[in-house]
């Protein structure tokens, strides 16, 4: 599992670094970013928060815009941000921004031509953590968070892998993708018409089936242009209520879908995760 460092910068006493590597899971070269707090060392490995970004994003959006480093450094938490899809000239793509490269939806595609590369679920849950733990001073203790499509990914991955993570959070997640245009387009392309498979990548459907075994924090702005048609937080709330799951959905007045919103509440999310990562 060879990785290549392509950039680094000192920040908040720690280091932000970008790496590339050849992914066996995705059959292409991938890039990820990592923030290491100043207290990270081989003798004192730190826990990790995995951040999954939204449509059209890369590893850079969160790292450059969220303003998370200072508080993460104080809390002693590393942050890992993968790309949002496989990339490359031979990787299937689409003319739309909401399918193909930049829009992997954190699932394992079963349909051609997507199934050759689009296995972001396995990449995030298996290959990337193994890579991070083998090459950096981090422990196996981790939590997961994300925004929009990445919020969908954080919720579904965390709900399906409660033994791997300590906590889950999301900003403006696609809460019920089976019932919104973004999700329906992606699921049809990547998964075909097997609706039972769709349910395994829908946070609201997963919560209907069983109680959440991890604490979940969700922030949603009420001025978000995608709120009604695409995000549907009320479906997540209703599903969580069925099993009295530990899901807190906060509707934040006046906030939109942007990183202005994320940067306003990222410290609270880091503190939420720290309470479980540092137990």
* Catalytic site residue from 23, 148, 169, 175: 148
CA 204-95-255 angle, to 5 degrees, is 45
Is residue 187 within a helix (H) or strand (E), and if so which, with residue range? helix 181-191
Give the separation between CA 232 and CA 230, rounded to whole angstroms. 6
Cβ count near 253 (within 10 Å): 7
Q: Is 224 a catalytic residue?
A: yes
* Catalytic site residue from 119, 257, 269, 273: 257
Q: Is 257 a catalytic residue?
A: yes
* Catalytic site residue from 224, 245, 269, 273: 224
Cβ count near 262 (within 10 Å): 26
Coil, strand, or helix at residue 19? strand
Q: Is 148 a catalytic residue?
A: yes
Give the separation between CA 260 and CA 166, rounded to whole angstroms. 27
Cβ count near 21 (within 10 Å): 17
Pairing, β 46-52 against β 216-221: unpaired
Cβ count near 140 (within 10 Å): 12
Q: How far is CA 219 from the centre of its chain?
A: 14
Q: Which residues are catalytic?
A: 148, 224, 257
């Amino acid at each position: 599992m060879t990785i290549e460092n392509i950039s680094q910068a000192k920040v908040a006493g720690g280091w932000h670094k970008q790496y590339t590597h050849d992914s066996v899971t995705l059959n292409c070269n991938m890039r990820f970013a990592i923030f290491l707090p100043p207290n990270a060392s081989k003798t004192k490995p730190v826990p990790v928060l995995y951040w999954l970004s939204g449509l059209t994003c890369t590893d850079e959006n969160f790292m450059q815009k969220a303003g998370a480093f200072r508080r993460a450094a104080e809390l002693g938490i590393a942050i890992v941000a993968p790309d949002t899809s496989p990339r490359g000239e031979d990787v299937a793509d689409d003319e739309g921004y909401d399918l193909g490269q930049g829009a992997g939806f954190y699932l394992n595609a079963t349909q051609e031509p997507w199934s050759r590369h689009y296995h972001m679920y396995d990449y995030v849950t298996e290959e990337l953590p193994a890579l991070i733990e083998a090459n950096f001073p981090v422990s196996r203790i981790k939590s997961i968070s994300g925004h929009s499509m990445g919020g969908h990914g954080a919720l579904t991955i965390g709900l399906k892998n409660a033994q791997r993570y300590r906590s889950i959070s999301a900003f403006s997640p696609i809460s019920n993708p089976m019932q919104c245009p973004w999700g329906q387009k992606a699921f049809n392309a990547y998964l075909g018409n097997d609706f039972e498979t769709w349910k395994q990548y829908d946070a609201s459907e997963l919560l209907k089936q069983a109680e959440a075994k991890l604490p979940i924090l969700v922030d949603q702005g009420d001025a978000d242009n995608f709120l009604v048609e695409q995000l549907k937080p009320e479906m997540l709330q209703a599903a969580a209520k069925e099993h009295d799951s530990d899901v807190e959905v906060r509707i934040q007045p006046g906030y939109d879908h942007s990183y202005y919103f994320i940067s306003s509440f990222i410290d609270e999310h880091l503190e939420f995760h720290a309470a479980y990562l540092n137990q």
